């Protein structure tokens, strides 16, 4: 189970369309900021582990505007200047054309980047059953939050409490979206009364 190489994606309160198998058909790869310069570029906050592939010249993305409208875009270029990253799209050639895109979420097809056999999309985690190695169900995944050392899986346990499980080995033994489960080997207190309840501010 690889915990580091995967596409970051929306949590449950940021839904995306799903394929017939219930998996996310699109994943969130960035959020657009304000226009930058006079040639249609926009500041962009990347949310993907594969920016070179997702934002290669000619790549197709879907912008979900703040109004709810969806627009198909084609990447012209992704550039970094100092601490700022900007993206330019074909046909977006000035401030007037760029302004409606400010604040939009950029979505990409989940299959746009091939995964290694032990890698998963974070978008596939919400809804998975959380089970011990012996098959005992201890809860289900509600969301994924960013942590300092690793991502954190928010688990709703069978007693109704919310716990944060670090997305690292050896705690997470396997993630099996096709089987609908995440297998864990939690240390004492992580998923029982010894663990503190997750804070609402941890969601993203």
Q: Give the model confidence (pLDDT) of 70-102 as tens digits.
A: 999 999 999 999 999 999 999 999 999 999 999
Residue 57 shares a structural domain with residue 86: yes
Q: Which residue has the tokens 């970094």?
A: 80
92, 157: one domain:
no
pLDDT along the chain (204 residues), means of 10: 36 35 72 94 91 93 94 96 95 96 92 69 87 94 85 92 91 90 92 56 38
Q: Are residues 131 and 190 in the same domain?
A: yes
Domain count, the chain: 2
pTM (predicted TM-score): 0.60
Give the domain extent around 132: 125-202
Residues 32 and 98 in one domain: yes
Answer yes or no: do 86 and 151 share one domain: no
The answer for residues whose C-beta is within 8 angstroms of residue 153's C-beta and 6 or more apart is 125, 130, 141, 143, 144, 145, 164, 165, 166, 167, 172, 182
């Amino acid at each position: 189970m690889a915990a580091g190489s995967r596409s970051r994606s929306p949590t449950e309160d940021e839904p995306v369309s799903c394929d017939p198998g219930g998996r996310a058909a699109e994943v969130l790869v960035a959020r657009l900021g304000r226009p930058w310069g006079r040639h249609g570029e926009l500041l962009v906050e990347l949310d993907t582990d594969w920016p070179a592939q997702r934002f290669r010249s000619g790549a197709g993305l879907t912008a979900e505007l703040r109004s709810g409208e969806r627009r198909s875009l084609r990447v012209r270029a992704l550039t970094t200047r100092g601490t700022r990253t900007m993206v330019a799209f074909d046909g977006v050639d000035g401030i007037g054309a760029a302004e409606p895109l400010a604040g939009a979420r950029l979505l990409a097809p989940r299959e746009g980047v091939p995964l290694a056999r032990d890698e998963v999309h974070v978008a596939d985690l919400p809804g998975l059953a959380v089970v011990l190695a012996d098959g005992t169900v201890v809860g289900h995944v509600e969301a994924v939050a960013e942590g300092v050392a690793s991502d954190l899986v928010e688990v709703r346990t069978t007693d109704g409490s919310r716990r944060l499980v670090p997305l690292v080995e050896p705690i997470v033994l396997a993630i099996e979206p096709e089987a609908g489960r995440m297998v864990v080997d939690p240390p004492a207190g992580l998923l029982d009364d010894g663990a503190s309840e997750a804070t609402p501010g941890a969601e993203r």
